[in-house]
Amino acid sequence: MDHTSLVAAFVLTGLEEARKDTPRLATPPAVHPNSPAALFGSFSLPSPVPDDFATRADIQDFHEPSESTWKQRLRAKDSPDCAVFDPDLLPAFFSSFRAFLDSRTDAAFSDEITGVLLEIIQSDAKDYSREFDQLHWRVLRAQAGRLGPLVRKFAKLLDPHLPESVRAGPDTRSGRNDHHRGDLDPDGDVINLETKPAFVLSRDQVPSAVVMVQHPRASTDPHGILNRLIEAFRSSPVQRIDAGLKKRDSHLYSLLLRIAVSCRSRSCNTFVLFDYLHYFIGFLVPLDSSSPTSSFRLVFSALARCDSPETPLVQVTTALLYADRFFGNELRRRTDSIVEATGLPELDLEPVKEEEEREDKEGDGGPATRTRQKLAAHTLAPLEKIQRFRLVYPDGTPAEFAPFVRFNFLGDAVSTVSLEATAEVVSMLEMDDYLGHGATSDVFRAYWPSSPFAAEPRMSFIVKLPRNASDPEKSADLLHEAKLLASPSLAEFDIVPRLYGAFKARLEGTEGKEMVALLEEDCGEPIDWWKDLTDEEIDQLLEDLTRLHVEHHIYHEDLTTEYSNPHNILVSPASPSSSSTARRVRVIDFAWAQDDHECEGEEECGELRMVRECSGWSRGGKA
């Protein structure tokens, strides 16, 4: 078998078949570092950077011992100073990788691998090249899953041919190379960041984060976030990531910080940013390379299509695994020359500081609490009064759904309310991050006021839509959740999200079918493990859950995954209405909850016992 057909056989018939047929690849590494576990961290991307993300001024006090509140903050050294746009970075990076491959003794093999891989990519690209608007974003999201296996295949083909010194090899660690909040970094600092990039590629414990932009028109619309990224750098290829940028375009600001958090929380300096169709490749470059604690610049390339034969995404992604070996110096040189030629804009934090001080003086509690209290009162109250809304993507494009209309769900059945147009004002609610889904709903974070360009800070809330718009059962499950959350006794119980309203929209092209949407309070981020809660928080949670059972007769049914992970327990910073600085632990997702539970008490009740046992194991682990 010649080499080309060998490679083709390997790819087409799978690893096991190829192992049988080929003596040259007969002994692939037993444990490959680019295993699926390493490739797929998670496909959800909860925003790691809340909208009230600390400014650089706030970051300075991060190390204060009184800092007991859980906050997702960048430490000063993690915060990129500025972003540098290098349109030629991608081709330069790719050709450098190709030159590296070509310098191997069996130079021809890189072409053969490229050929086989390109074929696969381009067959995938046939789907992508269909009219974009015909592709539902859910389909695109599912297709993004193909990238991981492609990269894995490519890395497997490549690795055995590389010289020992750069080979990923069998000994390197497989699995996610994540740091968890509370771990210590190499400098002994507590890591206080939790993010979920799309997945993390890991080689020799050097990871690369792949950050997915969960928005269907991020790069296809002129005002999509990726195009806005390019637009922002059109006049100057160097931009400060500061309060000025936050004011001009808060989405862009959050995106750049999110990239930095995704990378830095995994001690990783390389990333791919993509939205299924287009991608950027980028790096965090230390300002002072001699000091590992120096702050960083974010450097990224121009937008490239995923199916481009020039720079196939899968090869570029794989190349990131080897980037540190041959691209570091060149990258620094390029960055420095752009920054020198352009000059670094001045950092201007004064107006923001003044604003914050004014707010602090007016409030009652600690600074963070007062700000939120004020914001909550001013910005989220109108949500409860909205009668009709349309969903809008961050670029202003209306989502495909008809306007939603508030309805009295405590009295009405789903399909009987009139949705005829009225002269009432239709609010535009802007979806932002796609937070994820369960069996029932797709969940988005949204902001109020909705304009990304508004000067005032915005508050987030949650939009829950049924997973399958035309399935009446999903809408009925959401309605069930709404009824529970709105019941007078539960509405005041802080452990559950506040419901701002239930709405419905008529589905076009269906015989009178309607879908339900819920607007809920944003309860923060899900915890990964029980050990993410302190002992005091677990005690409080157990007490609250017992109240939920005994006083409110609610049996949640879905508190944990089948592996006992607490996926419906969320944490958020301190309550806006309390002077306490403790973070809040909340329970979400009442779509399947029973509301007629006669609880036999914590000794006998299955759900209470299960939570006590699972959280108890984690306490045992801590001790």
Binding-site residues for ATP, in ranges, read: 464
Cα 330 from chain centroid? Answer: 30
Residues 6 or more apart in contact with residue 111 via CB below 8 angstroms: none
**Closer to ligand ATP at the Cβ: 232 or 478?**
478
Q: Where are the alpha helices (DSSP H) in 422-569?
A: 472-486, 488-491, 535-550
**Closer to ligand ATP at the Cβ: 219 or 475?**
475
Residues 6 or more apart in contact with residue 208 via CB below 8 angstroms: 200, 201, 202, 268, 270, 271, 272, 317, 320, 321, 323
Instruction: Tell the smallest beta-carbon distance from residue 498 to ligand ATP (Å).
Output: 9
**Closer to ligand ATP at the Cβ: 85 or 555?**
555
Cα 216 from chain centroid? Answer: 14
The whole-angstrom separation of Cα 59 and Cα 92 is: 35
Contact 538, 619 (CB under 8 A): yes
Site for ligand ATP in 142-201 (CB under 6 A): none
502 DSSP β-pair partners: 518
Site for ligand ATP contains 227 (CB under 6 A): no
Instruction: Return the residue of 523, 541, 571, 611 that touches ligand ATP, per CB under 6 A.
Output: 523
Site for ligand ATP contains 319 (CB under 6 A): no
Residues 6 or more apart in contact with residue 188 via CB below 8 angstroms: none
**Closer to ligand ATP at the Cβ: 47 or 172?**
47
Site for ligand ATP contains 421 (CB under 6 A): no
The whole-angstrom separation of Cα 21 and Cα 190 is: 50
Site for ligand ATP in 37-56 (CB under 6 A): 46
Instruction: Tell the smallest beta-carbon distance from residue 481 to ligand ATP (Å).
Output: 7
How far are the Cα atoms of 281, 443, 550, 587 from residue 608, in angstroms, in the given order? 47, 27, 11, 14
Site for ligand ATP contains 437 (CB under 6 A): yes
**Closer to ligand ATP at the Cβ: 229 or 482?**
482
Site for ligand ATP contains 520 (CB under 6 A): yes
Residues 6 or more apart in contact with residue 15 via CB below 8 angstroms: 28, 156
Instruction: Tell the smallest beta-carbon distance from residue 186 to ligand ATP (Å).
Output: 30
123 — phi, psi (to 5°)? -70, -35
Return the HEC string of 280-336.
EEEEEEECCCCCCCCCEEEEECCCEECCCCCCCHHHHHHHHHHHHHHCHHHHHHHHH
Number of residues that bind ligand ATP (CB under 6 A): 25
Instruction: Tell the smallest beta-carbon distance from residue 494 to ligand ATP (Å).
Output: 13
**Closer to ligand ATP at the Cβ: 316 or 462?**
462
The C-alpha angle 364, 369, 371, rounded to 5 degrees, equals 85
Site for ligand ATP in 52-91 (CB under 6 A): none
Please enumerate, by residue number, every residue annotated as part of a binding site: 464
The whole-angstrom separation of Cα 136 and Cα 86 is: 32
Task: Output the six-digit token pair for 53.
Answer: 């993300």
Amino acid identity of residue 115, one-letter, is G
**What DSSP assignment string belongs to 105-146?**
SSTTHHHHHHHHHHHHHHHHHHHHTS-GGGS-HHHHHHHHTT
Instruction: Tell the smallest beta-carbon distance from residue 168 to ligand ATP (Å).
Output: 32
The whole-angstrom separation of Cα 432 and Cα 526 is: 18
Site for ligand ATP in 566-605 (CB under 6 A): 567-568, 570, 588-589, 591-592
Instruction: Return the residue of 117, 558, 569, 618 that touches ligand ATP, per CB under 6 A.
Output: 558
- Of the candidate spans 3-11, 338-346, 436-444, 601-609, the one that interacts with ligand ATP by CB under 6 A turns out to be 436-444
Q: Is the dihedral of CA 557, 562, 564, 565 positive or negative?
A: negative
Contact 302, 310 (CB under 8 A): no
Instruction: Return the residue of 438, 472, 486, 534 that touches ligand ATP, per CB under 6 A.
Output: 438
**Closer to ligand ATP at the Cβ: 394 or 566?**
566
- Of the candidate spans 173-181, 256-264, 514-522, 599-607, the one that interacts with ligand ATP by CB under 6 A turns out to be 514-522
The site map against ligand ATP for 480-509 (x = CB under 6 A) is: -----------------x------------
Site for ligand ATP contains 440 (CB under 6 A): yes
Among 131, 271, 159, CA closest to 208: 271
Site for ligand ATP contains 554 (CB under 6 A): no
Task: Output the six-digit token pair for 211.
Answer: 């950050």
**Closer to ligand ATP at the Cβ: 123 or 561?**
561
60 — phi, psi (to 5°)? -55, -35
**Closer to ligand ATP at the Cβ: 45 or 232?**
45
Instruction: Tell the smallest beta-carbon distance from residue 235 to ligand ATP (Å).
Output: 37
**Closer to ligand ATP at the Cβ: 336 or 544?**
544
Instruction: Tell the smallest beta-carbon distance from residue 319 to ligand ATP (Å).
Output: 32
**What DSSP assignment string belongs to 470-512?**
T-HHHHHHHHHHHHHHHSHHHHT-TTSPPEEEEEEEEPTTSSS
Q: Which residue is nearest to ligand ATP (CB)?
A: 438
Instruction: Return the residue of 147, 238, 313, 462 that touches ligand ATP, per CB under 6 A.
Output: 462
Site for ligand ATP contains 435 (CB under 6 A): yes
Instruction: Tell the smallest beta-carbon distance from residue 320 to ligand ATP (Å).
Output: 28
Instruction: Tell the smallest beta-carbon distance from residue 589 to ligand ATP (Å).
Output: 3
**Closer to ligand ATP at the Cβ: 72 or 440?**
440
Site for ligand ATP contains 436 (CB under 6 A): yes
**Closer to ligand ATP at the Cβ: 83 or 570?**
570
The whole-angstrom separation of Cα 100 and Cα 167 is: 13
Site for ligand ATP contains 469 (CB under 6 A): no
Site for ligand ATP contains 607 (CB under 6 A): no
If you count them, how many residues does the chain have? 623
Instruction: Return the residue of 439, 455, 491, 610 that touches ligand ATP, per CB under 6 A.
Output: 439
Applying CB under 6 A, the residues found at the interface with ligand ATP are: 46, 435-441, 443, 462, 497, 520-524, 526, 558, 567-568, 570, 588-589, 591-592
